[in-house]
Amino acid sequence: MGNISITRRAVDYLGDPFLVRTIQEQLGVKQIADHNEFSDAPSPRRSLASAKPRPGSDDEASGGSGASAAASAAGNGLVNGYRWLSSKTRKRVTSPESTSPAPSPEPLEMVVEIYPLLNIFFRLATELGHEPFYITYFPFLVWNADTALGRHTVMVWCISMYVGQACKVLFKWKRPACPPAIRLVTNPVLETEYGLPSTHATVATTIPFYSLYFLYYRYNLSLWFGLPVALFWCLSVCLSRVYLGVHTVLDVLAGLLVAIIMLVLCLPAITYLDWFVFDFEYTLIAAPLFVILLLYVYPVEADKWSMDRGDTAAILGVGLGTLLGFHLHGRFPDDIGTGGFEVALPSLQVVGVSIVRFVVGVLLLLPTRFIMKLLCFRLLPLIMPTHGVQEVVKRPLVELPYKIITYGMIGFNAVYLVTYVFEICNISR
C-alpha cells in the first residue's frame, strides 16, 4: 500500500497543471492581469481606448476617463494587451472554455509576459512534431540523405504515432487545465484531444535516436557529435510542450516511455521490415490489409467525434504509401551497401544539386494533397453511406478513406514518382 500511495502522489504531482504553471513562470511566462484589470465590460475583447476605470482605481480617483486610462496604458507601452519591452513581451492569450473550472460566456483572456526569443525558440521546437515538418523532412532524407534511413524513420514514426494516439484514447487523460496553466497556443482542436502520452515527446525521441543508431552503425558517426544533437532535439520539443501549456510533465514522461519501448521493439525488427518491403511476394496485398486492420482495432469513443482517428489514418496512409513506393521501385543504391561508410562534407556542387532536388520534389508533391482531397470529397460522399452524420468531414467512411488515400499518395509520390522524375532530369543521387 505504501508503494501505491507514493506512486499515486508522484502521478498527481507530475500531472498537476500548477506544476506546468510553475515551469512556465521559470521560463519567463508570467500572468500580468486578466481582462478585468482593464475593463468591467462583459466582453474581454473591448479595446483599451473604451475601457472604463475600475471603482477605486487611481484613474477614477483622479477623475480620469476610460480614454485617459488607455492613454496611461499606452504611455507604458501597453496597447490592446500587448507591450514590447527590451527583453520581454506582454501579449494577450485566450484560455479555452473547456478546461476552465467555471466557463464564462466568452473564453477568459489574460495578459502574460514572455521572453520573445525564448518564445520563438519553443514555438519552432514544437513545429518538429507537426505535419509541415514531417512532409518535408522525410522526403528530404529519401532524396538527399539515405533512402534506407528515410524508409526506416518513416516506419518507426508510424508505429510510434499509432501507439501514442491509441494510448491517448485509452487513458483519456485531459490536457492541463487552463487556468492555472497558461495556454500560449490558440487551437480549438487541442481541446478535443487527450494529452497522455505526448506524441510530440514520443517522436522527438524515436526520430533523432533511431537516426543516431542508424548513422552510428552505417556511417561511423561520432557519438560525441550525434548524441548531443539527439538530446537537444528531444529535450527542446519536450520542454516546448510544457512551455506552451498543452501538456503536463506526466504527459511528456509517458511519451518518452512509449518512445523507449518502441525503440527497443523496432531496432531488432527493422531488418524484417526491409524483407517485407522488397522480398515478400504479397506485399501489395498484405500492407493495405494490415493498415485496415490497425484502423479497425483502433480505440474509438462512441459518444464523441475527434480528429484522433483521422490523424491516425493519415499517419498510416503515409507509411503505406511510402512502403508501396519502395516495393514498386525496388532497392535504391543506398540499400545495396552494407555500411561502414565514412561521413564526408559535401561539395558545393552536391549541395546545389540537393537543393534543386528538394525544390523540384516539393513542387511535385504540393499538388498531390489538393488534387486527392478534391477527388475524395467529390466521389466518396456519393458512394459511402452517411450513417446519419450530416457533416461530410465527420463521416468515418469518408474521412478515413480520404486520409489514407491522400496521404498515401503523398508518401508514394515522394518515393516513386519524384525519384523517377529525378532520373529523367538526370539529378538523381
Q: Which residues are catalytic?
A: 200, 247
| Residue 53 grid cell | 476605470
HSE-CB of 227 using CA atoms within 13 angstroms: 3
Neighbour tally for 16: CB within 10 Å: 18
**Coil, strand, or helix at residue 78?**
strand
Asked whether the beta carbons of 165 and 311 are under 8 A apart, the reply is yes
143/395 Cα distance (integer angstroms): 36
C-alpha count within 13 angstroms, C-beta hemisphere, residue 346: 11
Distances 250 to 7, 9, 85, 125, 207 between C-alpha atoms, Å: 12, 12, 34, 19, 21
Q: Which CA distances in Å does 129 have to 49, 200, 240, 309, 320?
A: 40, 5, 11, 17, 20
Q: DSSP letters along 175-200, please? A: PPPTTTS---S--GGGGGS--SS-HH
C-alpha closest to that of 410 among 136, 160, 156, 206? 136
Residue 112 DSSP one-character state: E
Answer whether 14's CB lies under 8 Å from 248's CB.
yes
120's enclosing H/E stretch is helix 116-126
Q: In 3-state terms, what secondary structure has residue 338?
A: coil
* Closest by CA position to 311, among listed 415, 406, 184: 406
Terminal Cα-to-Cα distance of the chain (whole angstroms): 61
On whether the CB atoms of residues 288 and 316 are closer than 8 A, the answer is no
**How many other C-beta atoms lie within 10 A of the C-beta of residue 92?**
18
27 exposed, middle or buried (CB, 10 Å; 0-12, 13-18, 19+)? Answer: middle
